[in-house]
Chains A and B, each alone.
Chain A
Amino acid sequence: MFDYVKKNKALAVIAGLALTAVVAVPVMAQRDPAYEAARSSGKIGEKPDGYLGFVTAPSPAIKALVEDINIKRKAAYTRKAQETNSTVEQFAFTSGCNLIMRTAQGEKYQTPAGTWNTRDASEPVRDSRCP
């Protein structure tokens, strides 16, 4: 087995590269590090309406980042709403249900009452209409 690998080092390297490429494709669509940092530090959080909100007064950089993501989200919701014959608000709300459910521990989310909660091991407080 090892002999085979040694003999075909070039082949192994090519195979390794191909594997990396396969793994790298999903990694491409990952969160921006600044966005990830703002989330985990609790400066921003998920709102029930499907968009990001500011937990504390944002720095200009974070404000620009969140606004940019929210515009991209709205574009995605609009596209999907058209595909599913629903309104943008309906699709955004459904996504909000899922996004709050997917928050990691320590991240912030907004309850239907409007307060910001920190996600812990328990179920998040969500709108009663969420599935």
Chain B
Amino acid sequence: MNNPFSEGKATMLYQTRQLTDRPYGAIRFKMRSLTTSGLILGAMMTLSACVQVSAPDKPIVINLNINIKQEVVYRLDGDAKDLINEEADIF
């Protein structure tokens, strides 16, 4: 393999050139046509779907604290009722 002119290297080089280096090589041609159709599709979608989205004037604040707490409160409700009944002298 150290020989710079081995058969394996030549094959590799040939295959690489076939796929990439030729001006109208197989991959290049396919990529180009894909790009063209993609651009056409993109343009069509932009034209047909004209949805106006305006940014809200107030900052979006998602208060996770409320959701988590309500969930927890519902889960703990039964235990809290038990405790109040068990230790009625301090409640």
Contact = CB atoms under 8 A, between A and B. Distances in A.
Interface stretch (B9-17, B26-34, B64-72): B64-72
Interface stretch (A15-23, A53-61, A68-76, A110-118): A68-76
A77 B80 CA distance: 9
Interface string B71-89: 0111111011101101111
Contacts of A73: 90-91
Q: Is the interface of B mostly helix, strand, loop or mixed?
A: helix
B73 A83 contact: no
A33 to B, nearest CB: 11
Interface string B5-46: 000000000000000000000000000000000000000000
B87 A94 contact: no
Interface residues of A, number: 25
Given A95-B83, A129-B69, A31 B77 contact: no
A29 B89 CA distance: 5
A63 interface: no
A97 interface: yes
A93 B77 CA distance: 10
A102 B90 CA distance: 14
B84 A129 contact: no
Interface of A: 29-32, 69, 72-73, 76-77, 80, 83-84, 86, 90-91, 93-95, 97-99, 102, 129-131
Nearest to B84: A98
Closest CB pairs A-B (n = 5): A94-B76, A95-B80, A94-B80, A129-B70, A72-B90
Contacts of A130: 73
Contact of A30 (B73, B81, B86, B88): B88
16 contacts: A72-B90, A73-B90, A84-B79, A86-B75, A90-B69, A90-B72, A93-B73, A94-B72, A94-B80, A95-B83, A95-B84, A97-B77, A98-B77, A98-B81, A102-B91, A129-B66
B73 A94 contact: yes
